[in-house]
Amino acid sequence: MSQKLALLLLLLLSIHSALALRICSFNVRSFGDSKQEDQNAMDVIVKVIKRCDIILLMEIKDSNNRICPVLMEKLNGNSRRGITYNYVISSRLGRNIYKEQYAFLYKEKLVSVKKSYHYHDYQDGDVDVFSREPFVVWFQSPHTAVKDFVIIPLHTTPETSVKEIDELVDVYVDVKHRWKAENFIFMGDFNAGCSYVPKKAWKNIRLRTDPRFVWLIGDQEDTTVKRSTKCAYDRIVLRGQEIISSVVPKSNSVFDFQKAYKLTEEEVRLPSCLSMPLSKDELAWAT
């Protein structure tokens, strides 16, 4: 993991012909005290967040629960046009003493949280598959063509990626049992490529073999910053005819914010500096 930086993913859900709802997935590697105290790192993180209307942050390592309140201060302190962010955050998840959190930051003017819950990994025969159980959030957005959608985040452990990705189907079934939701977005750092998920393993992943789950990031994409690595670790997967049929064909693109923010590869890798994804894939929803 120390040699890999995850992807920032962006989805666009149309509000009308001129505006779109931006939904992002962002693994800020080891987002704890050192990054919080690094002003340059926080400035870049805030810039990235401001590109999005909803953003999933992963790998938050914050035992004092200070990171999201600090981000709120930075995002809302000089808010223009009345744009304010709010957030919803998971409990600290993980085995033994190593813990992480998922958090969703979102613009209150555009979306709200309808419901949320932690998936409980207690199925007979495959207990405790997830290193960090998904924190499932049901969003509603009165301004978009797709009025509500569930986001299921996942940050896998590389060595167990195949089983964890496969288990997302069970999460989907559980959500459907609880809620009358129809539109689903699975997103995050799946470690879904190269040696972690070799070609022969895809046949064992129900999320992949079931054609009703539509994968938007191809296996040949490079979602890493390391020049010697080309792996599609980070993914977006959709389920639900309404949300799938709204995707604008050929709307993905890549934004290299290492280049945009003039960050060197060495600066990004330093533990005391910003360790974050350096590209994103963008998709647009039709009106």
Each residue of 116-137: pLDDT tens digit? 999 988 766 667 899 999 999 9
Q: β-strands 148-155, 184-189: how paired?
A: parallel
Q: Which residues contact 198 (CB under 8 A, 6 or more apart)?
A: none
Q: Choose between 254 and 261: higher pLDDT.
A: 261
> Which residues are marked as active site?
100, 155
Q: β-strands 214-215, 234-239: how paired?
A: antiparallel
The structure's pTM equals 0.86
pLDDT at 240 over 80: yes
Q: What's the Cα-to-Cα distance from 31 to each of 68, 99, 190, rounded to whole Å?
A: 11, 11, 18
Name the one residue in this structure whose structure tokens are 């919080």. 36
- Over the stretch 136-185, which tens digit does the pLDDT of each residue have? 999 998 877 788 999 999 999 999 999 999 999 999 999 999 999 999 99
Q: What's the Cα-to-Cα distance from 8 to each of 18, 202, 228, 248, 249, rounded to whole Å?
A: 23, 23, 19, 20, 20
Q: Choose between 256 and 203: higher pLDDT.
A: 203
Quote helix, strand, coil % in the chain, to nearest 5: 25, 30, 45
